[in-house]
């Protein structure tokens, strides 16, 4: 819940200018709903993709305050975030509502970015893998192989979001490897190998190189550090250098 429409448009305009030389790194920005139309106009003829932060599981109806997948798509989005930890923590999101949102989103051309991860208590109790496993099995229930190819997965340990505490690259890689193996078990090895698995949790310029250098970490779901344009651009350039 940051940036008005004008602020987001200004940010997008400057981001587009500062990333003209980026050719191999996919950039997605997900501003608030009210900022989607002006940002869409700024990003025309740009390689930067637009995403939304949430979606409802019904196509329409008496759901005051909610936004449908079709509305998001027609606002110019290519992606939508589903099941972010803050949605789970503050607004009652469950694995079941995540599953319904994924399936509804896949009736459009949007690609869902599916978030999941454990709390500090769950990690301290040694339940990280069990929690992640249940979130994925229940969240992805009933999806076909073709549908899975449109998903982006984002592991975000709740204890490392907005706290300044980051999982070490080794901790993150261990869970990412587990996620890839689990996707292989639920679906198949081809889906697992091609899956895009992002890491989110206090990612910043100082740690993004070490995180993205890991074999199973394909990108970052950047939170607070993306609000500062120079910080976000610095991370994009590090990702670009790693892809060369």
Share of the chain above pLDDT 90, in %: 93
Sole residue written with tokens 């208590």: 121
How confident is the prediction for the chain on average, in pLDDT? Answer: 96
Q: Is 84 a catalytic residue?
A: yes
Q: In this predicted model, what pLDDT tens digit does every residue of 190-235 receive, in sequence order?
A: 999 999 999 998 899 999 999 999 999 999 999 999 999 999 999 9
- CB-based contact 152:196 (threshold 8 Å): yes
Q: What is the rounded average pLDDT of the residues 96-115? A: 98
What average pLDDT does this structure show over 5-27? 98
Residue 211 and residue 154 in contact, taking contact as beta carbons nearer than 8 Å: no
In sequence order, the β-bridge partners of residue 197 are: 153
Q: Which of 56, 84, 93, 173 is catalytic?
A: 84
pTM of the model: 0.96
**Catalytic annotation, pick one of 73, 93, 118, 156:** 156
| Rg of the chain (C-alpha set) | 17
CATH assignment of 5-243?
3.20.20.70
Mark whether 156 is an active-site residue.
yes
């Amino acid at each position: 819940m940051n940036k008005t429409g004008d602020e987001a448009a200004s940010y997008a305009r400057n981001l587009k200018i500062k990333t003209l030389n980026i050719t191999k790194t996919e950039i997605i920005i997900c501003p608030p709903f009210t900022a989607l139309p002006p940002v869409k106009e700024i990003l025309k003829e740009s390689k930067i993709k637009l995403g939304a932060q949430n979606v409802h599981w019904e196509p329409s109806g008496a759901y005051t305050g909610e936004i449908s997948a079709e509305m998001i798509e027609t606002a110019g989005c290519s992606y939508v975030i589903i099941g972010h930890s803050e949605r789970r923590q503050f607004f009652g999101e469950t694995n079941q509502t995540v599953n319904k949102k994924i399936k509804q989103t896949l009736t459009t051309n949007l690609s869902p970015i599916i978030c999941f991860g454990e709390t500090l208590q769950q990690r301290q109790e040694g339940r990280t893998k069990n929690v992640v496993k249940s979130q994925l099995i229940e969240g992805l229930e009933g999806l076909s192989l073709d549908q899975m190819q449109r998903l982006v997965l984002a592991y975000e340990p709740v204890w490392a979001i907005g706290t300044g505490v980051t999982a070490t690259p080794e901790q993150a890689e261990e869970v990412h490897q587990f996620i890839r193996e689990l996707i292989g078990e639920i679906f198949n090895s081809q889906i697992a190998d091609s899956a895009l698995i992002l890491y989110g949790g206090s990612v910043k310029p100082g740690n993004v190189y070490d995180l993205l250098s890991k074999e199973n970490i394909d990108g970052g779901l950047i939170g607070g550090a993306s609000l500062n344009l120079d910080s976000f651009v610095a991370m994009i350039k590090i990702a670009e250098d790693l892809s060369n």
